[in-house]
Structure 1
């Protein structure tokens, strides 16, 4: 028994970003290929984000910072961004030290606090 194929494009859940696992240490020759992979994943998916699993990237150092900066630049040029999964605390600190900000998976995006919001109420404060 056969059935007709549904018409149109297959359903793709664009809310689930693709994952690129980075296992290190990554050589300088591999960086171009990884940038091409990020560009292809962004063009193929509709999420606008590529999750880079950096848990197995190796010891944090300037090579890892350079790789992630190049991947982020490639993603930005393609209209997307990078989100890091499972970064080593030392890598996160190193990225912060050099001024690179990445969204980390499982953490809310850092945004400005809402205006005119009082964080705590002290007894005796007048009602606004």
Structure 2
């Protein structure tokens, strides 16, 4: 069998995950819509991660913690997860206090070395 050449650029999977911009105080009634948006982004893009830019959410509080926990749950049920961009340090402390841990953009994943870090080798060490 032979196939004709396709016009245009070949399909390439995107390396950058989709970004969801969260701004302003989010009300409890808006949370289901944001969860639907996370699921939709994962489904449409085929990505495994949605970056949630939360720099504009305002002061951290339990409402923000609830929103992020529900977004993570929605993402996990859809086969993905969320990653936080530009979190307030006070929010990270609050998340830690309530026992929630999120991946933050720019942090290395557990078990991975930080970018640009090389292991030191002694000149007399045998090659493994």
Q: How does 1:88-103 map to 2 (within 5 A)?
A: 88-103=88-103
Corresponding residue number in structure 2 for 1:116? none
Corresponding residue number in structure 1 for 2:54? 54
RMSD: 2.7
Distance, in Å, in 1 between the alignment partners of 2:35 and 2:17 is: 16
Q: How does 1:1-128 map to 2 (within 5 A)?
A: 6=7, 11-111=11-111
In the TM superposition, residue 35 of structure 1 has moved relative to its aligned partner by: 0.3
Q: TM-score by structure 1 length?
A: 0.78
Distance, in Å, in 2 between the alignment partners of 1:5 and 1:54 is: 40
In the TM superposition, residue 11 of structure 1 has moved relative to its aligned partner by: 2.5
In the TM superposition, residue 36 of structure 1 has moved relative to its aligned partner by: 0.4
Structure 1 residues not aligned, in runs of 5+:
114-118, 121-126
In the TM superposition, residue 84 of structure 1 has moved relative to its aligned partner by: 0.1
